Structure formats: structure tokens, C-alpha cells
Amino acid sequence: MMTGSRHVVIGAGLAGASVAWRLAQAGHEVTVLERDVPANAQGSSHGSARIFRHAYPSRLYTEMVVRAEAGWEELHESSGVQALTLTGAVDHGALRRPTALAEVLEACGVAHELLSGAEARRRWPMFAFETEVLWDPGAGVVDPEAAVQAMLDLAREAGAHVETGWEVGRVERTRTGHRLTSTDGRICEAGELIVCAGGWLPQLLSELPLPAGFLPASHAVEVRQEQAFHFPYRGGAGEAAAWPTFIHSSADITVYGLPGGRDAGHAGQKVAEFNGGRVIPSAAAQDGRVDEANRRRVTGFVAEFLPGVEPAPYAETTCLFTNTASEDFLIDRYERLTVVSPCSGHGAKFAPLIGELALAAVTGEGEVPREFRVV
């Protein structure tokens, strides 16, 4: 069976759904090919809890968050789905450099407060702060599964077609674009191909008709199997609304946390070590096993810095990070083939904007930050 589309998107996670939405919204013909189902548990867009924050050491990303914020509002207005819930965020720890982050927020016009550790402890007694603390009241939690569904629904309403259970086995260049063959023999013709494969990207790279050296060392893709743990609130599930998201970084560990949402029954705080998981060849190599040493490190952090939860996880899971060496995103185009990998463990918050950037790359109308381009 053969199908075809002017624009074909591989992957229906946050990136692929956003690209499909923005392309269809702009009047382009779009087909999405998803190897499983949208936002499935084998990718990086499943679950209900990802951090939305403005605090970055780089103005580039803070300014992008401001742009993405408008996209989340647009998604809500267009779909009726509230995929972003504001909770505020606290950043602390010597290596997190709250003062430097505050300077970036000030330069970008983003509301914030810089508090002493004592002031912050009085405001949020569930934390044991040791350093000054940056408060970002406009931060919150993104529900990726809800966002993916909402963006795909809008894409379909604008004429996009979504194929599930369509695993790409081979990609060939043709005179008019690309021919994709599924692992079960189906064929799809694409004028423009946009690859949003997340942790499956390394496995696909050998099949993509890209020149040798397309991905230099600065944009080499590394996949990690990360772990996340849910710790119960001491006062019960009703305390979830009082908790901000957080990032702590010290010489010993970098940890992030947020209300865990429905992922573990709304009963606890989701806490994980940033890039604490092991490197794997691609998403195909994930085994879902939690590393005991990682569990001990995270539990030790919780016992020391989060008195508002019990320091024993009641639920745990694995997930995927797809990183570049610089932790910058990868959005670039070569001869009708665009690679979109806005991940490195911090891409979810930008989802509505990622589609806009990919649209700019595909059409040549608009700018993609040079940091995201290969050449």
C-alpha cells in the first residue's frame, strides 16, 4: 500500500505533534508517521509532568520560553485543553547560581524574586534551602500527553493525517523528495521529510540520506535512560498544590522536581537526577530497569533537602533524554530533510514553539537560532 504527502513527519511526541500542528495551521499538507501511538511510553513525551520555567543562564532560552508561553496560551484557546498549570519554581544550590539566573530574567523582563535561604525556608518549609533562592512565579508544569493530543487534534482539524503503528524501516531519496518504507512493507512518498524521532533518532540516522559529517561533535546525539522517583507528601496528596517545581545544582548532584500529577496518583513529588541515567545506543535499547545507585543518590538528596516528603519512593519509572554535547537543540534542514531534536532533557516547555521553528526551517520563512543549526 502506498500513501504520500507533501510533508511527512516521523514521530508523534511533543516535537512531531507541534510540527504537524504548525504545518497544517499554515495550510500545508501533512502526514504523521508514528511507530506506536502518540506520546507512548517508549518515547520522551509520555506522562503528565514536565517542568515549565523561565530560568536559564542564556538569554536565548529565556526569550524562547517567553515565546513558548504565548504558544501554550494559543493551544489552550484553540483546543480548550489546559496543558500548562502554573505552580512557580525555585532554583537553588551553589552551581545553580540563582543571582546569575536572576540577572538574565531581569534583562528579559521576566518577573522574579531573589530570596535568602532563610526567607525561602519560611515561605516553603517543605524545602531545606542552604543557598539563596530564585523564585519564578510564572513557572509551572506541562502535561505532555494532553499537549500532544491537543496539538494533533488541531492538526487533524486543519487537514493533517496521522498514521499509527507505522515504523520506518528505510528512507530513500527520490527525484521529488523521499520514499519511506515501513518495517512491514508499506510505502509513503514525502516531498519534505521532518524527522522528530527523539530517542529513536540514532537508530534512524543510518537510514537517512544525509551527508557524512552532517552531525558534527557539537550536535552528536546521545540517548540516556533516566530515572524518576515519586516521594509521598508528608501531609497527603492535598499538599500538591502548595509545591513549586525546583532545580537544585551543587558539586554533588543536579536534581529537579515537580508535582507528579496523575503519573503516580497525584500523591507525591516527582524527583530525578539530571543526566543521572546510563547512556544507551538508542530508544530501542531501553530496558526499564531503575539503577539502584541512582535511586540512592536521589533518595539521599530528598532526605537532606526535602523535609516535606517521606524519603522513600512509592513509585519509580524510567524515561529518555536525547542529548547533544552542548545541550542545545538540533533543528536543521538538508535537501528536503529536516532533523528536529529539541530535547537534551529540557525541551518539553518549548513544544508549541518547536513547531514554529521547524516551520521556519522547512519553508525558509523565519529564523532558526544558529545554535540549533549544524552549519
- What CATH number is associated with residue 19? 3.50.50.60
Q: Is residue 61 part of a domain?
A: no
Residues 307 and 337 in one domain: no
Q: Is residue 79 part of a domain?
A: no
Residues 194 and 265 in one domain: no
159 contact partners, CB below 8 Å, separation of at least 6 = 24, 29, 30
Q: Is residue 197 part of a domain?
A: yes
Per the structure block, which three cell numbers stand in for 70? 504565548
pLDDT attached to residue 171: 95
Question: What range defines the domain where residue 292 resides?
Answer: 94-139+222-323
Q: Is residue 77 part of a domain?
A: no
Question: Which is it for strands 254-259 and 268-273: parallel, antiparallel or unpaired?
Answer: antiparallel
pLDDT attached to residue 217: 58
Q: Is residue 196 part of a domain?
A: yes
Residues 245 and 124 in one domain: yes
Provide the number of structural domains found in the chain.
2
Q: Residue 217: CA atoms inside 13 Å, Cβ hemisphere, count?
A: 0
Residues 155 and 39 in one domain: yes
Residues 122 and 233 in one domain: yes
Residues 314 and 228 in one domain: yes
Nearest CA to 160 among 20, 354, 38? Answer: 20
pLDDT attached to residue 197: 96
pLDDT attached to residue 210: 86
Q: Is residue 72 part of a domain?
A: no
pLDDT attached to residue 1: 61
Q: Is residue 13 part of a domain?
A: yes
Residues 297 and 360 in one domain: no
Specify the CATH number for the domain of residue 244.
3.30.9.10
pLDDT attached to residue 218: 54
The verdict on pTM exceeding 0.85 is yes
Cβ neighbourhood burial of 296 (10 Å; 0-12, 13-18, 19+): exposed
Residues 316 and 331 in one domain: no
Residues 10 and 128 in one domain: no
Residues 133 and 236 in one domain: yes
Type of residue found at 31: T
Which of 323, 339, 364 represents a domain boundary (last residue)?
A: 323
Which ranges of the chain have pLDDT less than 70?
Answer: 1-2, 213, 216-219, 237, 375
Residues 194 and 254 in one domain: no
pLDDT attached to residue 203: 87
pLDDT attached to residue 207: 82
Residues 249 and 351 in one domain: no
pLDDT attached to residue 219: 65
136 contact partners, CB below 8 Å, separation of at least 6 = 53, 54, 55, 88, 89, 90, 91, 105, 110, 111, 112
Q: Report helix angle 144-157 to 59-79, nearest 10.
A: 60
> Which residue has 536525547 as its cell numbers?
322
Q: Is residue 64 part of a domain?
A: no
